[in-house]
Chain A
Amino acid sequence: MPQVLLIEDHQTVRDGLQLALTRQGHTVDAVATGEQGLERMRASAPDVVVLDLMLPGMDGFEVCRRIRQRGDLPIIMLTARNDDMDVVAGLEAGADDYVVKPVQARVLEARIRAVLRRTGGDSRRPGPERPGLHQHGALTIDRAALVVSKGGVPVSLAPTELRLLLELAYTPGQVLSRQQLLEAVWEHGYLGDSRLVDACVQRLRAKIEDEPSTPVFIQTVRGFGYRFGPL
């Protein structure tokens, strides 16, 4: 039973989402502020955080960054407006996905399921699998254990970052468009937000590239998308 931590300051919205998600079979822990949310995370171990960006006190971006500092817990942002600045800032703070309020419960539910599939815990995870150790230059990808290390040092990747790396590294040298990646990694239908891909690539580069501004592993092919290598 997936455990969801819902951080939302408006009580009616919080109650509505809690009601709907509980009916879908989730265990929902709902709190009103970021501080409460961070505290609750210490007590229980949620599988996913649904986080409103507009919060009194500590705002959603800061909460997002703090969760990221602690680990790779999947985060879905709830944004009141799909203003570009909010979305981009949230993705840069480390969110895995976002939905725009007002959101129907089943849409949010589908995103939660998708993000959970990206973590190792869900056995129904689709996508290319080729268990075993794969060496790409200094980068070692263990597709069975879902561990990435660089020069023998393990690299800590968030689930979405890991899935994106696995997807790209599966076909080295082949260009994948943002839409292809959105469908494969985020399970968005057509017309997903390609900024999700861009933000995730940025975070991934910061972790695995020597020089993120001149990437070796994940290269941008302008006008087409991204490519792993060639090394």
Chain B
Amino acid sequence: MTPWNRARAMALGLRTRLLLAFALLGVTTTAVVASGSYFQARTVILQQAQDAAVASLTDQLTKVYPILGLPPSPEELNVLAQRLSDRDSYALVHYRDRWASGVDGREPLTPELRKEVAGGQIAWQRVDRGGHPVLLIGTQLRIERSDGTSVESGVEVYSVRSLASEQRSIDRLATLAWVTGGLSLILAVLLALLAARGVLRPVRELGRAARRLGEGDLSTRLTVRGVDELADVTRTFNDTAATIERQVGELRRMEADARRFVADVSHELRTPLAAMTAVTDVLDEEADRLPGDAGQAARLVSQETQSLTQLVNDLIEVSRFDSGTARLALDDVDVAAAVTATLRLRGWTDRVRTELPPGVVARLDPRRLDVIVANLVGNAFRHGAEPVSVRLRAEPEWFTIEVADEGPGLDPEVLPHVFDRFYKADTARTRSEGSGLGLAIAWENARLHRHGGQSGSLVASNASRGGAVFTLRLPRTAAETTAAGGVR
């Protein structure tokens, strides 16, 4: 998972998604309700103001009815305008090209309005004048004929009414809508948090339990609460954990049985082998004196008894690693001297190129070091090609021993398996060349040396110019504690 993906997954976590959903729901509902009622109230308020203004104008015009003869004098127009003006509005009166009171009413009036009024209609329009909403109402005075009909007089009366108080009411409504929206958003978030907690707590508990299970605590169980889907999941988790625990327990028991069987068999084999081994020297001494086949048979029995002893010893060693009973017998050792002794003991001194700086002192199990080095060098002779080289390198806390040969190196397919038990790269290899446990034991021996939470290691690789390289890395001060048996 890339950091970006992780960030996105975290951003869209369950809690976040719930919060977003609740907030969105709250905001949407509030927006729809608040804006709906806002617009409706606004329309009603404006409509009422408008209707009232039109009614008031018509009413007042009725009062000044009938008008004097045409054309009206400027005084008449002024009086008319004065009469029609009140606290909230003022009137503009127009006849042909004259405006009452000398006020030029063309400025606030729109051409559409004037055109409609000129056509004899009562017309109104809301306009915005410098940020203030204004209602314009216009009509023509009519002249009543003697026969009861009336005609347009050409006297246009306009009322310019401020809608400031209505606008204030509408503004209050808008503020109220915003406040309601904000409050409902907060409420939605709180509800979301509450719901998220309710859902997330069991989910989080489930997550923790799953993690514990993954870490190997197979006895992990959860308390089932309620009867919802989460309770179902919890119950399923518990059932699964129980099944896993049972099966793993069964497998472990079987594995332990198998290991104990190997250990028991090995121990049982020791007694007859002890008797046979005791007399192999007798066989070896007598073999030369025995005629033909008998001598050959005696030598074969002697040799194979030794191989079998080696195999059984190796099996017991391996079972000791498996059961965790392998212990380190620590001693302070000059590593170079120890390696030299290992080579000398087996007569390899002249065949190995060494690079062993003196003075690398380490606290380790010298016999286990001997087993590892002897195994690596022995393998190099058997499977690689000479010259075989052994290089010691020291670090402050650790040291490495590198055993390299000039052979063809290890097949890439073989490389991951070289430390497996009884793994044989070459199926044609004869058994007498080793028990097949040598490298597995060397690997376990390396791991048994621990320091500061880290184990020693044995790694196989190929040199760039060919040839196998085994690198042993051990701490210079191995811990006294015994490591649990390595399970491979």
Q: Which residues of A contact B (CB under 8 A)?
A: 10, 12-13, 15-17, 19-20, 23, 80-81, 83-84, 101-106, 177-179, 189-191, 193-195, 223-224
Contacts and interface: CB of A to CB of B under 8 A. Distances in A.
A102 B370 contact: no
A102 B277 contact: yes
A132 B339 CA distance: 41
B274 A16 contact: yes
Interface string B311-329: 0100010001000010101
Contacts of A179: 331, 366
Nearest to B285: A23
Contacts of B278: 13, 16-17, 19-20, 102-105
Contacts of B277: 16, 101-104
Interface stretch (B77-85, B156-164, B188-196, B265-273): B265-273
Nearest to B266: A81
B345 A224 contact: no
A102 B281 contact: no
A19 B279 contact: yes
B278 to A, nearest CB: 3
Contacts, number: 85
Nearest to A16: B278
B331 A20 contact: no
Contacts of A178: 331
A224 B332 contact: yes
B233 interface: no
Contacts of B344: 190
Contacts of B272: 12
Contact of A16 (B276, B285, B331, B345): B276
A9 to B, nearest CB: 10
A14 B210 CA distance: 59
A83 B282 contact: no
A16 B281 contact: no
Contacts of A80: 267, 270-271, 274
B341 interface: yes
B281 A20 contact: yes
B428 interface: no
Contact of B281 (A15, A105, A177): A105
A104 to B, nearest CB: 6
Nearest to B328: A84
7 contacts: A12-B272, A16-B276, A81-B316, A104-B280, A190-B344, A191-B341, A191-B370
B363 interface: yes
Contacts of A191: 341, 345, 366-367, 370
Contacts of B270: 80-81, 101-102
Interface in B323-358: 325, 327, 329, 331-332, 341, 344-345
Interface in B239-276: 267, 270-276
Contact of A84 (B273, B309, B327): B327
Given A12-B272, A190-B341, A190-B345, A105 B282 contact: yes
A16 B280 CA distance: 9
A194 to B, nearest CB: 5
Contact of A83 (B273, B325, B366): B325
A107 B275 CA distance: 14
Interface centre among B271, B320, B327 (most CB of A within 10 A): B271
Contacts of A106: 281
B275 A12 contact: yes
A194 B329 CA distance: 8
Interface in B273-302: 273-282, 285
Contacts of B327: 84
A80 B271 CA distance: 8
A103 B325 CA distance: 23
Contacts of A20: 278-279, 281-282
B281 A13 contact: no
A185 to B, nearest CB: 16
A55 B125 CA distance: 123
Given A16-B274, A102-B309, A190-B344, 8 more contacts: A13-B275, A16-B278, A101-B277, A102-B277, A102-B278, A103-B277, A105-B279, A105-B281
Nearest to A84: B327
Contacts of A105: 278-282
A10 B281 contact: no
A223 B345 contact: no
A19 to B, nearest CB: 6
A118 B205 CA distance: 71
Interface centre among B281, B282, B325 (most CB of A within 10 A): B281
